[in-house]
């Protein structure tokens, strides 16, 4: 459910942000029982629950307009703030980490970087975090050192309103959030739905487009190996990109779940938190998911990214799947390196130092495991991509624009991969694989990739899963990979 826009035109000059400290148990309880009209994001020890929209920041050209991106930050800075987040003055904070600086905006953006997008400034935002945590931008795939109930948390409620009676607004929202009656059982109950699950386009369509992509990657004549197969319906390679030097393309397929009852994003998010505890859980703008992939996080001058690529089916026990990446194929390692090199090359433009491990880790999720590389850098105020620009640090939103879409969700070279995706897939990706996250008034923020997700519309959930196609890929194996990636989301909806 997309949050409704404010009913009247409101400008940043009309708003005031107020911060009040609250019991962190309130936010912790909402982690598993927030209402369906809320936006929600949690990862590590950070939890954000938002309700209502005080202001929207529209990006009419998506991530393509650098002036609009910078204007979001300057607008946030102009809003007066009363109060500070608990823990903001804590002497225990690492020099590399700082708590968010309200006001804070949330967003789920389209995969298409040029498509219109918007950021939401909530009327009420409940936030919980650990002010002593030295890594609040915790990498997905790594369970928090302390369970949320064991962590020393600080919490606050942040209101943004043009009304002088912010206490009345706060009371109304908190009443709807149910924080005065925190009875076990929550705000929603399980209902016995029946479900239908079906591909939007046939599995054969996916097999065919993977085969077409392989023709281009491996520079095979299109008819090779299939010209004598009367059942083959493989589409012809677009003439505009025939002969192009493509190394990787990520192709996706969509599956639709239809329920007899309206689907609850809150219930699905709560179930995903159980199924994928090492992932970031989100429910924003009608999309709900459990993302294992950190696109980019900024905390002051510190920047992090955790690209994932190279996927294999997770075995029943760790002993069955090996203890390190050496047992996987050279193809998987090559695919992963393509992504890491692209992310590192982009971040080098804005970093004075960048640490990129030469060997990836294995990130284990419920159904699959991935190669993951934890990239950490220190931003330079001098932007090497624009030698005449001696500006402030790039905001987290500007870093999103610098990186998205990475080869993890598009391919490389990017322009050729995107043209092939547009030609072959047969559907609009929407919010799938787009940036999902938050940014504060200081430009800090955390942005995930909106993968392992579903877009909800009433009683229908549409899920998208992709696979990276490189030389040596096999169509049936890539189809199997998408099935593995869909497992947790389908279970969260139907069980």
Residues with catalytic annotation? Answer: 248, 293
* Alpha-helix runs per DSSP H in 98-219: 166-177, 203-217
8 A C-beta contact, residue 109 and residue 434: yes
Q: Are strands 38-43 and 445-449 parallel, antiparallel or unpaired?
A: unpaired
Residue position matching structure tokens 């708590």: 99
8 A C-beta contact, residue 2 and residue 286: yes
Distance CA 285, CA 109 (A): 9
Distance CA 126, CA 158 (A): 6
Distance CA 98, CA 114 (A): 31
Distance CA 28, CA 402 (A): 34
Residue 390, strand partner residues: 382
CB count in 10 Å sphere of residue 320: 8
Torsion (CA) 301, 406, 294, 290 in degrees, nearest 10 = 160
Instruction: For residue 269, give both structure tokens.
Output: 């998010």
Distance CA 483, CA 495 (A): 17
Residue position matching structure tokens 């890929």: 473
* Alpha-helix runs per DSSP H in 310-449: 318-321, 330-348, 396-403, 414-424
8 A C-beta contact, residue 68 and residue 211: no
- What are the backbone angles phi and psi of residue 30, rounded to the nearest 5°? -65, -15
Distance CA 390, CA 380 (A): 10
Distance CA 25, CA 424 (A): 48
Burial code (b: 16+ CB inside 10 Å, e: under 16) for 137-159 equals: bbbbbbebeeebeebebbbbbbb
- Write the Ramachandran bin of 151: left for phi over 0, alpha for psi from -120 to 50, otherwise beta: beta
Distance CA 11, CA 121 (A): 12
Distance CA 325, CA 46 (A): 30
SS3 assignment, position 352? strand
Distance CA 366, CA 277 (A): 9
Q: Are strands 361-364 and 154-161 parallel, antiparallel or unpaired?
A: unpaired
């Amino acid at each position: 459910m997309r949050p409704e826009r404010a009913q009247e035109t409101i400008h940043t000059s009309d708003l005031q942000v107020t911060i009040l400290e609250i019991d962190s148990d309130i936010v912790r309880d909402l982690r598993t029982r927030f209402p369906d009209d809320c936006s929600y994001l949690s990862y590590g020890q950070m939890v954000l629950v938002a309700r209502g929209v005080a202001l929207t920041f529209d990006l009419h050209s998506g991530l393509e307009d650098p002036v609009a991106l910078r204007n979001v930050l300057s607008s946030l800075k102009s809003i007066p703030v009363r109060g500070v987040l608990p823990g903001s003055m804590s002497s225990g904070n690492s020099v590399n980490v700082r708590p968010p600086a309200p006001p804070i905006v949330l967003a789920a953006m389209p995969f298409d970087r040029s498509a219109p997008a918007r950021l939401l400034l909530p009327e009420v935002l409940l936030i919980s975090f650990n002010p002593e945590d030295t890594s609040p931008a915790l990498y997905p795939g790594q369970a928090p050192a302390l369970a949320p109930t064991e962590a020393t948390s600080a919490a606050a409620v942040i209101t943004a309103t043009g009304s002088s009676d912010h206490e009345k607004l706060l009371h109304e929202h908190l009443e709807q959030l149910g924080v005065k009656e925190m009875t076990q059982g929550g705000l929603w109950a399980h209902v016995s739905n029946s479900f239908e699950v079906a591909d939007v386009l046939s599995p054969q369509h996916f097999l065919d487009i993977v085969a077409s992509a392989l023709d281009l990657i491996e520079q095979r004549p299109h008819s090779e190996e299939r010209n004598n197969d009367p059942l083959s319906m493989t589409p012809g390679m677009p003439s505009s990109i025939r002969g192009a030097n493509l190394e990787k393309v990520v192709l996706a397929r969509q599956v639709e779940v239809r329920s007899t009852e309206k689907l609850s994003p809150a219930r699905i998010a709560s179930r995903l938190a159980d199924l994928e505890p090492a992932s970031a859980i989100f429910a924003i703008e009608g999309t709900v998911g459990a993302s294992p992939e950190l696109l980019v996080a900024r905390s002051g001058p510190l920047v992090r990214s955790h690209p994932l690529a190279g996927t294999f089916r997770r075995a029943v026990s760790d002993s069955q799947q090996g203890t390190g990446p050496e047992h996987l194929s050279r193809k998987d390692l090559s695919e992963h390196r393509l992504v890491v090199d692209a992310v590192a090359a982009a971040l080098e433009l804005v970093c004075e130092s960048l640490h990129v491990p030469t060997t990836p880790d294995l990130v284990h999720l419920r159904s699959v495991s991935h190669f993951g590389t934890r990239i950490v850098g220190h931003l330079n105020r001098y932007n090497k991509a624009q030698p005449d620009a001696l500006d402030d640090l790039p905001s987290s939103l500007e870093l999103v624009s610098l990186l998205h879409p990475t080869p993890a969700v598009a391919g490389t070279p990017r322009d050729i991969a995107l043209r092939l995706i547009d030609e072959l897939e047969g559907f609009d990706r929407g919010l799938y694989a787009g940036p999902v996250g938050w940014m504060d008034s200081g430009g800090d923020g955390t942005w995930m990739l909106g993968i392992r997700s579903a877009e909800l519309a009433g009683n229908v959930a549409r899920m998208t899963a992709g696979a990276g196609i490189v030389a040596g890929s096999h169509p049936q194996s890539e189809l199997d990979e998408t099935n593995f990636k869909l497992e947790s989301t389908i279970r969260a909806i139907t069980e």
